[in-house]
Structure 1
Amino acid sequence: MSADPVLSGPQVRTRAAILAATASVLADDRSATLPDIARAAGVGRTTVHRYFNDRESLVREATSDAVRILEAVLEGAGVDDGPAVDAMRRVIAAMVAIGDRIVFLFGDPRVMESLRPHQQPNGDVLVTRLIERGQRDGTFDSELPALWIKHALWSLVLRGCQDVRNGDLPTYAVTAAIIRTFEHGVGQRI
């Protein structure tokens, strides 16, 4: 759609369904077609074209939408609230809960590379801030670089979300496994 028109409630829901389906379908198959995406969204191809001019604009909007949702769930997880260990557990659970979008964004490095500098997720800053806070209070190993801990976290979350998508593990098991692996891997040794 051009020039950001005001959408009705049903139009907002349809657009959101198309964006969610795009993230889900492309997380599985980066070469999926517009008809594949339309089918997953439960709409016709012409409906997709009413909202998005072409596949490129749809993927671009789905990427921006996924980044926005990631940032919202990270902010909603209360990164600055309570002990760092509790905040990190909430962050991990929040990221796993949006697994399709995590796999869509991070399963193919080209997706994140396609973002303009002003679109880069602020969530990365929130996670780094939490890790550094945990290092200062002794929750996370201060001898490891915060960048390394962040990369380990994102890798665990991506792999866990892929395992959920593949049907290898249920969401609750993946969340618990990521938390346990992360805490035992970067927690301070007692």
Structure 2
Amino acid sequence: MSERTRALRSDAERTVRTILEAAERVFAEDPAASMEQIAEAAGVARTTVHRRFASRDALLEALAAVAAREFAAAVDAAHPETTPPLVALYQVTVNVLRVKRQWPFALDLTGPEGGEPDCAHAEVEQRCDHLLRRAQESGVVRADADLAWAKWIFYALIGVAARIRECEPDVAATRVVDTLLCGVGTGQGLIRTGSQPGQ
């Protein structure tokens, strides 16, 4: 590949990235925004957007795909299968928080079943299941904990933390993992399954 070809490809990739980042910002404010509004926010001509994306649906599909790829890469970068479980829980959390704060609109998009976003999210869920099992086996998570419940609580905590922009990702990740593993109570008056308060 010639230097000129590489430069043209790099320039095209930067343009696509600029358009997608602008689309994220604009759609987050107005999901019904037009391609013209995206072009204006990206600082490019409307024809440039249409040349890169044949339709609004194509732009939305590309937006969902790039966010899903970065979401999967964030989990992968934490090496959840090999890193000690407690460290992996923290690193997955901080990495995912960064992606969720960058692509909040795109990560909520649902693509076609079996498409790239669908596959990426399914793979991340499997890896989360595996990480929580490792955490349980290592004693980080209680032996009697319901891992399916723990996973949904983990997801919910990350979702809330992603919206609290005043808290830096590393601080938010520490709080998410601490809340997941320890909660915010003292342990007094704990309600066990099948019991009622005061029993």
The amino acid of 1:116's aligned partner reads E
Q: How many residues align?
A: 175
Deviates more, 1:67-76 or 1:27-36: 27-36
Check conservation: 1:96, 1:171, Cα contact below 8 A.
Answer: yes
**Residue 61 of structure 1 aligns with which residue?**
62
Structure 1-normalised TM-score?
0.79
Q: How far did residue 11 of structure 1 move?
A: 0.2
In 1, distance between residues paired with 2:64 and 2:100? 14
**Distance (whole Å) between structure 1 residues aligned to residue 114 and residue 160 of structure 2:** 26
| Cα separation, 2, equivalents of 1:154 and 1:24 | 23
CA deviation digits over 1:39-63, x for unaligned, max 9?
3333232211110011111001111
2:156 maps to amino acid: S
Residues 57 and 118 (structure 1), Cα distance of their counterparts in 2 relative to 1, 3 Å cut: closer
How far is the alpha carbon of 1:176 from its aligned partner? 3.1
Amino acid corresponding to residue 182 of structure 2 in structure 1 = H
Match of residue 117 from structure 1? 114
Partner of 1:3: none
Give 5+ residue unaligned stretches, structure 1. 1-5
User: For residues 55 and 123 of structure 1, what CA distance do their matches in structure 2 show?
Assistant: 27
One-letter code of the match for 1:183?
L
- In the superposition, the TM-score normalised over structure 2's length comes to 0.76
Matches within 5 A, 1:151-170: 151-164=152-165, 168-170=166-168
Counterpart residue type for residue 98 of structure 2:
A
- The separation in 1 between residues aligned to 2:47 and 2:131, in whole angstroms, is 44
Where does structure 2 lack aligned partners over 5 or more consecutive residues? 1-5, 188-199
Counterparts of 1:123-162 in structure 2, within 5 Å, are: 123-162=124-163
The residue that corresponds to 2:34 in the other structure is 33
Larger radius of gyration: 2
* Distance in 1 between residues matched to 2:135 and 2:181, nearest whole Å: 11
Q: Structure 2: how far apart are the matches of 1:151 and 1:39?
A: 39
What is the CA RMSD across the aligned residues, in angstroms?
Answer: 2.5
Do the aligned partners of 1:23 and 1:104 also contact (CA within 8 Å) in 2?
yes
Question: Could you tell me how far apart the structure 2 residues matched to 1:105 and 1:153 are?
Answer: 20
Give the distance between the partners of 2:178 and 2:28, measured in 1 at CA: 26
Identity of aligned residues (%): 25
In 1: Cα distance, 2:60 partner to 2:83 partner:
37
- 1:7-64 CA-partner distances (Å, limit 9, x unpaired): 6110011112222332343334322332333333332322111100111110011111
Deviation at 1:80, TM superposition (A): 1.6
Quote the residue 1:174 is aligned against.
Answer: 172
Q: Deviations over 1:43-99 (max 9, x none)?
A: 232211110011111001111111111111111111123320100100001001112
Note closer, same or farther for the CA distance 1:39–1:169 as it changes in structure 2 (3 Å cut): farther
Q: How does 1:45-84 map to 2 (within 5 A)?
A: 45-84=46-85
Are the equivalent residues in 1 in contact too, given 2:19–2:42 (CA < 8 A)? yes
The CA deviation at 1:158 is: 1.6
